[in-house]
Chains A and B, each alone.
Chain A
Amino acid sequence: MKMLARSTTRLTRGTRALAVSVLLSISFIGSVSAGQAELNARDAITRAEAKIDLVSKENPAATQNTSFVNAQQKLVAAKAAIVRNNDQQAMWLATEAELFAENTAGASKLAGLERTRSEVARDVDILESELRKE
């Protein structure tokens, strides 16, 4: 019985050591993972910020668009999430901000293309009208 008890104690000690070791490892990996998540979130915020700046510089008129306003709001919320150490939330909000900014730029470019098409169509109408007069 004593021997069994001793061996159990030894096992318990070994198990404790192993458990401590595992816990330490998990804690370390967790802290490293948490740091990486924050870095990723900050990168996402930087990218979103750059895209928003680019849109506002290239298309000042587009800053009135709902998607641009959404991008700005998401960026502000992402920065707030970082401050709260909510890296995952910050990451999500930053990627959403970036996508809203991309949509703004795309819509702005589309508007330019549609303007060009309208101008050409108008010119064609005028030319055809003049041609029909003859």
Chain B
Amino acid sequence: MSRISTFKTPALTIAPVLTIALAAVLGSCASAPSSHPRLTQLESELKAAYGDKYVAEYGHDDLARAQVSLADARVAIRKGRDTEMQHDLTMAENHIALGEIHGRQERTKAETVALKDRQDQVRLAARDRDIRKANDRAATSRADAAMANAASQDANARAELSRAEAMAANAATQAAEDKTTAMRDQLKSYDMKITELGATLVLRDVMFDVNSAVLRAGAVNRLDPLISYLRSSPAVSVRIEGHTDSTGSVEHNNDLSLNRANSVRMALLASNSVSNPIETYGYGQSKPVASNATISGREQNRRVEVTLK
């Protein structure tokens, strides 16, 4: 009982003391600083950090540590432990910073991946464009090649044609030369000159008597080589021109020259083997080949020219 009374008495005695002490403690708690500007600032930063998707996800552990540090800081502030509070706030600040760094790292990685995807797409588009260009160039080249091939074939054809024409021309030339050579051989007994009209044979007046258009008896034989040639060349046309010297009137000489030409024509046709077309002309004294002032010149002017075409 005495022990009880011993305990009771002090309890009753100290009750007011405890009440005062409690009031003092509560009073001291009420007056103790519950916040700090830096703490408030960091709490705000932590809240903002949680608002960032990447920081909240990839800096989660850091932010959780920051929360613990801030809680420690609050306790330290309440207990008035300034050094400890500074440490806790420094830790909280660095944990928030590290969380933000981790979040930004992941965001940067994600953005880089997206950019690389875009890069691949653009490169693909560029490659497609290059392929299209190459195809276009190839098509153009093929078209150019086809055109060049066609042009080449055309040129070859033209060249072939030219060769054929040249060969034909050569052959024609050769044939003409052969013909001329053959004609020369056959008509070598005549005085022959080659003119624009063809080969012209000159028959002097020894074939006619003076002022006569009748061929002398032996003169017909003189025409034998010509007759022989015309027989072998029925396509050759014949032009016979009669010429005189200046002796006598022009009119008479014209008639005489034409008659002499006709006499030669008749002699040719009389052979019955000449069917070539024959034209006759009488030029009289109009086309002298030498001077009529001399005997020799007049002899040269008195002539019949047979042109073979």
**A interface, CB within 8 angstroms of B:** 67, 89, 92-93, 95-96, 99-100, 102-103, 106-107, 109-110, 113-114, 116-117, 120-121, 123-124, 127-128, 130-131, 134
What is the count of residue pairs linking A and B with beta-carbon distances less than 8 angstroms?
63
Docked complex Cα distance between A73 and B113 (Å) = 38
Docked complex Cα distance between A95 and B91 (Å) = 8
Main secondary structure of the interface of A (DSSP, over half): helix
Docked complex Cα distance between A67 and B120 (Å) = 38
Docked complex Cα distance between A61 and B70 (Å) = 32
Docked complex Cα distance between A123 and B108 (Å) = 16
- Within residues 94 to 129 of chain B, which ones have a CB less than 8 A from any CB in chain A? 94-95, 97-98, 101-102, 104-105, 108-109, 111-112, 115-116, 118-119, 122-123, 125-126, 129
B115 in contact with A131 (CB, 8 Å): no
Docked complex Cα distance between A91 and B56 (Å) = 29
Docked complex Cα distance between A85 and B83 (Å) = 16
Docked complex Cα distance between A102 and B112 (Å) = 23
For the complex, is B79 an interface residue (Cβ under 8 Å from A)?
A: no
Q: A102, A114, A120: which contacts B98 (Cβ < 8 A)?
A: A102
Q: Which 5 A-B pairs have the closest CB atoms?
A: A106-B101, A92-B87, A127-B122, A99-B94, A113-B108
Return 14 A-B CB contacts under 8 Å, by A number: A67-B97, A92-B87, A96-B94, A99-B98, A100-B94, A103-B98, A106-B98, A106-B105, A107-B101, A109-B105, A113-B108, A121-B115, A127-B119, A127-B122
Main secondary structure of the interface of B (DSSP, over half): helix
Chain A contacts for B84, CB-based, 8 A:
92
Chain B contacts for A99, CB-based, 8 A:
91, 94-95, 98
Docked complex Cα distance between A89 and B87 (Å) = 9
Docked complex Cα distance between A89 and B126 (Å) = 63
For the complex, is B90 an interface residue (Cβ under 8 Å from A)?
A: yes
Give B111 Cβ to nearest chain A Cβ, in Å.
6
Chain B contacts for A113, CB-based, 8 A:
105, 108-109, 112
Chain B contacts for A67, CB-based, 8 A:
97
Docked complex Cα distance between A131 and B123 (Å) = 9
B119 in contact with A134 (CB, 8 Å): no
Chain B residue with minimal CB distance to A93? B87
